[in-house]
Chain A
Amino acid sequence: QKEVEQNSGPLSVPEGAIASLNCTYSDRGSQSFFWYRQYSGKSPELIMSIYSNGDKEDGRFTAQLNKASQYVSLLIRDSQPSDSATYLCASGGRDDKIIFGKGTRLHILP
């Protein structure tokens, strides 16, 4: 059974600090990785895609991928109250399906 594991949280981070969200995946054949943000009662919104080992930066967001350790992370710099949401990690592999984790709830403390 292919799985994507995330700590459910909540992860509480002071405003202005760096929030670090982590994810592990079981399928070594996974080639693509995605981070989605989901506000309460809303649908998921894609915020980052990463395909190669290393870091990928987009504004305040940095995604990190380590395929050897089967580990993906998302860093949010200068955290804002509007970043409070559930963050879903997802991976795509050799078959037709993207596997989603259950998400980590992030709470930014004003």
Chain B
Amino acid sequence: DGGITQSPKYLFRKEGQNVTLSCEQNLNHDAMYWYRQDPGQGLRLIYYSQIVNDFQKGDIAEGYSVSREKKESFPLTVTSAQKNPTAFYLCASSIWGNTNQPQHFGDGTRLSIL
């Protein structure tokens, strides 16, 4: 089945630790996105990529890093510089990086601090 796979579903981070969230898609979509959602809040854009080997900062990129070495994959690293990482992280993709195209979401990763 075509779709977006995020792993792990739950992740715990220790103080000072970097953690990486995986996002893989087999939809042949060009554009991929990372959002953060806090309870009762909307989606906030962290990073996005419209093409392999290129990505742009979203509204809350500080403390996060990404790479886009393959079209199918867009991993997000939550660094120790992100002091409040507890949230629901959502990866999305769209056919191409045009806002007329809807974004489709993976199942999300819940990150908590130990």
Cβ A43 vs Cβ B107 within 8 A: yes
Cβ B99 vs Cβ A44 within 8 A: no
The answer for the CA separation of A95 and B104 in the assembled complex, in Å, is 19
Interface residues of B in 36-94 (CB under 8 A from A): 40-43, 45, 48, 50, 56, 58, 90
Given the known inter-chain contacts A100-B43, A102-B40, A102-B41, please indicate yes or no for A92 contacting B100, CB distance below 8 A: yes
Q: Which residues of B contact A100 (CB under 8 A)?
A: 42-43
Is A96 part of the contact surface with B, judged by Cβ < 8 Å? yes
Question: Interface size (A, Cβ < 8 Å)?
Answer: 23
Cβ B100 vs Cβ A43 within 8 A: no
Residues of A within 8 A of B (CB): 8, 31-32, 34, 42-46, 49, 51, 88, 92-98, 100-103
Beyond contacts A45-B105, A97-B45: 4 other A-B pairs, Cβ-Cβ < 8 A, are: A32-B99, A49-B102, A88-B43, A97-B58
Cβ A88 vs Cβ B42 within 8 A: yes
Q: Which residues of A contact B106 (CB under 8 A)?
A: 43
Cβ A103 vs Cβ B105 within 8 A: no
**What residue of chain B has the Cβ atom nearest to residue A93's Cβ?**
B99
Cβ A92 vs Cβ B99 within 8 A: yes
Cβ A44 vs Cβ B105 within 8 A: yes
Q: Which residues of B contact A97 (CB under 8 A)?
A: 45, 48, 58, 99
7 closest A-B pairs by beta carbon, nearest first, are A92-B99, A102-B42, A43-B105, A100-B43, A32-B100, A43-B108, A100-B42
